[in-house]
Amino acid sequence: MDCKYRAYNSSIPAFLKDRPKDVVNHIFPTRYLTDLTEANIETVSPGHYKVKSETSPYLVFFSDDESPPSCTCSDWERFHLPCKHFCVFFDALKMLVGGVSD
């Protein structure tokens, strides 16, 4: 049997490996092709964050176990996949707790 597989691009982080191609293609450019940093994040209240984007601020919600995370941007509304506002939040969280792997 001829085993053929496609190797991952070395720039794809570990957390995106073994994910559906559509998810990788959506999240990878979103996460890495943005100028947003942790400086763009403001805590509104516990679990609610304002992420100042290029066009306007958006609200990211991680409020409780009963409600799923969400963002007020059109990308989230359309695809329900992590948007750049989620990604900058995750990157900031990773820096705060340290050692969290991709």
Could you give the CA distance from residue 70 to residue 76 in angstroms, rounded to a whole number?
7
Question: Is residue 54 situated within a structural domain?
Answer: yes
| Mean pLDDT, residues 50-74 | 88
Domains held by the chain: number: 1
Between residues 60 and 4, the one the model is more confident about:
60
- Whether this model's pTM surpasses 0.75: no
Question: Is residue 71 situated within a structural domain?
Answer: yes
Question: Is residue 85 situated within a structural domain?
Answer: yes
Question: Is residue 100 situated within a structural domain?
Answer: no
| Mean pLDDT, residues 56-67 | 85
Q: Which amino acid is at 63?
A: S
Question: Is residue 10 situated within a structural domain?
Answer: no
Say if residue 6's pLDDT is above 70. Answer: no
User: Distance between alpha carbon 39 and the CA centroid of its chain, in Å?
Assistant: 16
User: Distance between alpha carbon 53 and the CA centroid of its chain, in Å?
Assistant: 14
Question: Is residue 6 situated within a structural domain?
Answer: no
Could you give the CA distance from residue 37 to residue 49 in angstroms, rounded to a whole number?
13
Range of the domain at 34: 18-95
pLDDT digits (tens, 9 = 90+) for 8-61: 677 777 777 888 888 888 888 877 767 888 888 999 998 899 999 888 999 999
